[in-house]
């Protein structure tokens, strides 16, 4: 990852501390899934995009995306840092392009994918219904 020479060291430290896996959002989704459909695998490197949750036999992949990091169209996703704006726009743009490419690869291999956005965690009942529907599709 290329850092700007004028990057704020405090912000860099904060952003570096953000975990890439086992986030609180992921743990919430996994808690729901344990109750309705156990038997998933985590962060499978042999599946395009290394989904947060994968049901290998059913060819189902679930990505739990942070709204800011993946450029979701919500209030949190639209928020941009006040400094180094060009860097963050480019970074989020690359993340979005990578996400779209991974979804295309999964589809080409016969997988179904679901993206759960961080902002969706506020309504647990709706999220559970969405997960149940996704996993029930044949």
Q: What is the pLDDT along the chain (138 residues), one digit of tens a residue?
A: 455 545 677 756 666 666 667 799 999 999 999 999 999 999 999 999 999 999 999 999 999 999 998 999 998 888 888 888 899 999 999 999 999 999 999 999 999 999 999 999 999 999 999 999 999 985
Question: What's residue 78's pLDDT?
Answer: 84
Instruction: Quote the domain boundaries for residue 48.
Output: 9-136
Judge whether 107 lies within some domain: yes
Burial of 53 (0-12, 13-18, 19+ CB in 10 A): buried
**Which CATH number does the domain housing residue 77 bear?**
3.40.960.10
Judge whether 64 lies within some domain: yes
Judge whether 66 lies within some domain: yes
pTM as predicted? 0.85
Count how many domains the chain has. Answer: 1
**Cα separation, 113 vs 90, whole angstroms:** 25
Burial of 92 (0-12, 13-18, 19+ CB in 10 A): middle
Judge whether 79 lies within some domain: yes
Judge whether 70 lies within some domain: yes
């Amino acid at each position: 990852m290329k850092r700007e020479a004028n990057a704020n060291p405090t912000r860099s430290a904060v952003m570096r501390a953000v975990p890439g896996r086992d986030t609180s959002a992921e743990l919430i989704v996994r808690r729901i899934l344990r109750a309705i459909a156990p038997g998933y695998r985590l962060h499978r490197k042999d599946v395009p995009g290394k989904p947060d949750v994968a049901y290998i036999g059913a060819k189902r992949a679930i990505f739990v995306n942070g709204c800011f990091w993946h450029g979701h169209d919500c209030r949190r996703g639209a928020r941009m840092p006040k400094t180094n704006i060009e860097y963050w726009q480019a970074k989020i743009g690359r993340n979005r392009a990578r996400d779209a490419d991974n979804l295309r690869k999964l589809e080409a291999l016969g997988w179904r994918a679901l993206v759960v956005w961080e902002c969706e965690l506020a309504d647990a009942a709706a999220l559970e219904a969405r997960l149940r529907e996704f996993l029930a599709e044949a």
